[in-house]
Structure 1
Amino acid sequence: MAATDALPALTDNKPARKGSVEERMYHEIYDAIMEHRLPPRTKLTEHSLCEIYSTARHTVRKVLSRLAADGMVDLEPNRGAFIASPSTDEAHDMFELRQMLERAVLEKLASLPNVRTVIAPLRK
């Protein structure tokens, strides 16, 4: 299996970002995590990332360390890097936050005098 087969979410035919390989790699992995193209506990191998981005291991390690510092990746000694998985408490907090936001949006919409004209384009 080719290294790029292991991480297909990073090779999704989007136009290449401008900037250094390090910056491009960081943002592409970050975006793939946020867009759920890389689900929690997906292993990110240095070898695969080196092949995908045609770069050296030290660059990959810098990016993985940066993603770990941002809470996006878990670095496990002697095992590698994995997409972070939220804890039960974090998932609960996110669910509560989402409920609060949805309630606030609905209250705001309900208070608008022309709510039908605001909602109509959203239904398309």
Structure 2
Amino acid sequence: MGSGSGIPDDEFDAVGERVEWFFDRLLDEVAAESSVSRAMLVETVIKLEVAADRRRNHLRETGETAYRTDEAAVLWLPESVLESLAAAQGVSELEADAAGEVMRRMARSMVGVDHEGRPGSAPFVLLDPVA
């Protein structure tokens, strides 16, 4: 299982490649500013992406799609949903906060607005599944 996460190695590796490619420098920037290592941040984002992908339809019904590209969708989700995803994956609060910062920055660059005007919600960049 991928990095002890309960995710099959092939899925973990495939999602990991997409995470590294898509979030690229944001992973470096956030890791440098937080007390979470880049490797741990990448692993955390992979776990959250896999968990979100498995709940893709539910998340689209629960949240609001703010922006869509061929590679990903920016969803505004209730913070409680994101907290549940993190808890289900065994992600610590510190790791979840760092991953959330990656999501906020990417959403800001894709949509052009911050999430501050949406109390109780947070952005999540849901990568399209690996073909």
The one of the two structures with greater contact order (alpha-carbon pairs below 8 A, sep at least 6) is 2
Larger Rg: 1
From the two aligned structures, give the one with the greater strand fraction. 2
The TM-score with structure 1 as length reference comes to: 0.37
When normalised by structure 2's length, the TM-score is 0.35
